[in-house]
Amino acid sequence: MATQSSKPSLARRWEDYQPAKSTLLWACAATVVATLIIGFNWGGWVTGGTSRALAATAGDTARGELASAVCVDRFNTAPDAAAKLVEFKAITDSYQKWQFIEKGGWATMPGKTSPDRLGAQSCAVALAA
């Protein structure tokens, strides 16, 4: 009578393995935690608050770029654009340049009563170049 003294194969041991419920629970919990860590750190996931903040920033930037383009176009198509450009370039302080653009009304968007601050800043930079 020969008895087999060797261990069962890895595949056989895998098939026969019956983990305890607590082991399964902890394995699932560890998987969830690992997924969250990887997702938020390297997967690009963000919370709702971060998403709203990013969207607001992107909207403000886009609005400023559009206001700047409108402002530059309005400035360049004004009847006295050449004289105003000379006057504008004579100003050395950037804050005073923004005020010049705002007071001239070029940074006030159609349908608005006050100038767009970000648009005026970008407009001043564009006109100074």
pTM, to two decimals: 0.63
Query: What is the structure's pLDDT at 19?
Result: 86
**How far apart are the C-alpha atoms of 104 and 74, rounded to whole Å?**
10
Query: What is the structure's pLDDT at 48?
Result: 95
Query: What is the structure's pLDDT at 129?
Result: 83
Query: What is the structure's pLDDT at 111?
Result: 87
What backbone phi and psi angles, to 5 degrees, belong to 85? -65, -40
3-state secondary structure of 122: helix
Q: Which two tokens stand for residue 127?
A: 């006109």
Query: What is the structure's pLDDT at 29?
Result: 97
Q: Which two tokens stand for residue 76?
A: 């360049």
Per-residue pLDDT of the chain (129 residues), as tens digits, is: 455 567 888 898 888 888 899 999 999 999 999 999 999 999 999 999 999 999 999 998 898 888 899 999 999 998 999 999 999 999 999 889 989 999 998 988 888 888 888 888 899 999 988
Q: Would you say 98 and 120 are in contact if contact means Cβ atoms under 8 Å apart?
A: yes
**Domain ranges, ordered by start, for the chain:** 48-128
Query: What is the structure's pLDDT at 2?
Result: 52
Query: What is the structure's pLDDT at 4?
Result: 59
Q: Would you say 66 and 118 are in contact if contact means Cβ atoms under 8 Å apart?
A: no
Q: Shortest CA distance to 68 belongs to which of 101, 90, 95?
A: 101
